[in-house]
Amino acid sequence: MGLTSQSLGYTGIVLALACVAVTVWLWPRLARQGLRPVLGRLGAIVMTQLSILCAIGIVVNSHFEFVGTWDQLLGNNDKGPVSVNEGGGGYAAVGDMKGGLVQPAGPQGLDRVTGLPQGTPDKVGKVESVRFIGRRSRAINPGFVYLPPQYFQPQFQRQRFPVMVVISGYPGGIMNLAQHLQVPQNAGRLIAQGRMQPTVIVMVRPTIAPPRDTECVDVPGGPQAETFFTKDLPDALKSAYRVGRDPSAWGAFGYSSGGTCSLQLAMRNPTVYTSAVSLSGDFVVKDDLTTGSLFGSGKAAAQRRREHDLLWRLKHLPAPQISALVASSRKGEQGYGDTMKFIRAAKAPMRVDSIILPQGSHQFTTWRREVVPALEWQSRQLTFPQDTEPVPPSTPQPSPGSEKGADSKKGSGSEKGSDSGKESDPEEESDPE
C-alpha cells in the first residue's frame, strides 16, 4: 500500500472514524470513578486524536506529496543507486534501468489523473512515472515524463527532442501538474493541433528535501537543489531519453515557487536553460519558516542572497541571453508590481514577454487560463529537431533531403509578438480551455 495511494487514505479515514465510534460507545463505562476509568478515558482521547491526526496527515501528504514513499519517510534513501549509464549509443526503456539515473516508480498518483494518453504510444504519446537519482546532489526526486507520439514513430527514431522542465509550486507536488494544470493533456492536444512542436515534458517538484522548501538553491552545507536542476536532472534525462544536448533545446517552466525556480535557473544558468516561464513567480528568494537558512552566514551569505535577487542581477550584472515569459494580474496578485519592474529592467540580449490578466489570484483558476498560451510560447523558443542520433554502421545512410523538417527552428526573436516587455492576454491569444 503506497504512501500516497488512495487505499491508504481511505484506510486512515476508516480507522479514525472507528476510533471515534468506539470512544463514544465506551464512554459511559469509562465515566466511573477510579484509576482505571480515568486511564481508560485518557487512552481513548489519545488514540482518537492520534488516529484523526494520522488520517489528516495521510490525506494531506497524498495531495501535496511532501513524502512520496515509505523509504523517504523512514530515511532509507541515502544508499540509492547512482550509477551512470554510458556508451552503447542506445536508450534503454525506463523499466529496464534499475541501476540508472532514471528509474521506474509506482503510480505516484498518476492512476488518479484523468485525460492521460490511452492507446499505443506512437499514436497518443505516453506518460511515465519515474524517480530521478542525483549523482552530485545525492537527491532522489519523483517525476512524471511525457513523451509525445513522435518520440515513438519510425521517422523520428534518430532525432533528439526539446525538453521542458515543468516545476510545481510549494508545497504542491507533481500530481498538481498532471491533475490541476493538466500539463501533459494540454501538451498532447497542442501537439496534435500543430500549435506546439513535439516536446519531452518533465514534471518535478521544486524541493529536493521535503518538507523543506529548497527554492532551487544550493544551500551551504545543506541540500544542493540548484545542482540537481542544472546538472543532475539534465544528465539523468540525457542518459535515458533522446533529448537535445544543446541549451537551445531546454526550457524551464513553473507556477508559484516553481515559477520562481524557473527564472532563477535560466538567469543563473543560461548555458543549461535558454528560456523560462514563470506563472505568478517571485523575483527574489528569501528565507522564511519553510526554507530555513538558504544562504548560510557571514559575508558570503549576503552576496549569495543578492545573487538570488533577479532585479539586483539585472541592475548589476550583464543580462543573460535567454527568453522569459512572466505572468501576473493587475488586480488580485501581490506580485504584479514586481512583475512590471522586472519587465522594465530587462535589457538585451535578454527578452521578456508577459501575460497580464485584468484580474486573477494565486491559485489554479488563474494558472489554468495561462498554461496553454505559456506552453505555446515556450515551444516557440526551443529548437527541434535539435540534433540527431548517429546512424548505426549497419544502417544505410539516408539520401540528402530525405529527413523532412531537419532544419532547426530558431527561438530568438523570430516569432510574432516577441518584443521585449510585450503584454498579452490569453483570452486574446487563445482559449486555454
Task: Tell me, yes or no, whether 1 lies in a domain.
Answer: no
Q: Which residue has the higher pLDDT, 78 or 144?
A: 144
Whether 311 shows a pLDDT value over 60: the answer reads yes
For 292-318, b/e burial (b = at least 16 CB within 10 A) is eebbeeeeeeeebbebbbbeebbeeee
Whether 78 shows a pLDDT value over 70: the answer reads no
Q: Which residue has the higher pLDDT, 85 or 408?
A: 408
pLDDT of residue 59: 73
> Are residue 30 and residue 126 in the same domain, yes or no?
no
- When mean pLDDT is compared across 1-10, 310-319, 406-415, the lowest value belongs to 406-415
> Are residue 46 and residue 98 in the same domain, yes or no?
no
Distance, CA of 62 to CA of 78 (rounded, Å): 23
Mean pLDDT of 183-209: 96
Task: Tell me, yes or no, whether 176 lies in a domain.
Answer: yes
- Classify 131 as helix, strand or coil: strand
pLDDT of residue 388: 73
Q: Residue 302 is part of which domain span?
A: 75-389+409-429
Whether 340 shows a pLDDT value over 80: the answer reads yes
- Inter-residue contact 143 to 203 (CB < 8 Å): yes
> Are residue 314 and residue 271 in the same domain, yes or no?
yes
Distance, CA of 319 to CA of 378 (rounded, Å): 19
- Inter-residue contact 334 to 306 (CB < 8 Å): no
pLDDT tens digits, one per residue of 219-266: 999 999 999 999 999 999 999 999 999 999 999 999 999 999 999 999
> Are residue 53 and residue 197 in the same domain, yes or no?
no
Task: Tell me, yes or no, whether 276 lies in a domain.
Answer: yes
pLDDT of residue 33: 82
> Are residue 32 and residue 149 in the same domain, yes or no?
no
pLDDT of residue 92: 33
Please report, as a single letter, which amino acid is at residue 12. G
pLDDT tens digits, one per residue of 177-190: 999 999 999 999 99
Task: Tell me, yes or no, whether 213 lies in a domain.
Answer: yes
> Are residue 155 and residue 32 in the same domain, yes or no?
no
Q: Could you report how far apart the first and last alpha carbons of the chain are, in Å?
A: 35
* Domain at 120, CATH number: 3.40.50.1820
Task: Tell me, yes or no, whether 99 lies in a domain.
Answer: yes
Name the domain boundary from 45, 64, 83.
64
Task: Tell me, yes or no, whether 358 lies in a domain.
Answer: yes
Instruction: With CA atoms as reference, report the closest residue to 27 among 42, 12, 9, 14.
Output: 42
Q: Give the DSSP letter of residue 110.
A: G
pLDDT tens digits, one per residue of 409-424: 333 333 333 333 444 4
Query: 16 — phi, psi (to 5°)?
Result: -65, -45
- Inter-residue contact 185 to 115 (CB < 8 Å): yes
> Are residue 35 and residue 132 in the same domain, yes or no?
no
Alpha helices in 31-173 (DSSP H): 35-64, 70-74, 121-124
- Inter-residue contact 266 to 274 (CB < 8 Å): yes
Backbone conformation region of residue 285, classed left if phi is above 0, alpha if psi is from -120 to 50, else beta: beta
The domain total for the chain is 2
> Are residue 51 and residue 82 in the same domain, yes or no?
no
Whether 20 shows a pLDDT value over 70: the answer reads yes
pLDDT of residue 81: 31
- pTM for the model: 0.71
The segment with the largest mean pLDDT, out of 60-69, 91-100, 208-217, 379-388, is 208-217
Task: Tell me, yes or no, whether 69 lies in a domain.
Answer: no
- Inter-residue contact 374 to 277 (CB < 8 Å): yes
Dig out the grid coordinates for 254 from the structure: 513553473
> Are residue 58 and residue 132 in the same domain, yes or no?
no
pLDDT tens digits, one per residue of 21-50: 988 888 887 787 888 888 888 888 999 999
The set of residues, in sequence order, having a beta carbon less than 8 Å from that of 400 and lying 6+ positions away, is none
> Are residue 263 and residue 126 in the same domain, yes or no?
yes
Instruction: With CA atoms as reference, report the closest residue to 62 among 173, 136, 144.
Output: 173
Task: Tell me, yes or no, whether 16 lies in a domain.
Answer: yes
pLDDT of residue 379: 97
Parallel, antiparallel, or unpaired for β 159-160 and 387-388?
antiparallel
> Are residue 252 and residue 378 in the same domain, yes or no?
yes
> Are residue 185 and residue 263 in the same domain, yes or no?
yes
Average pLDDT, the chain: 83
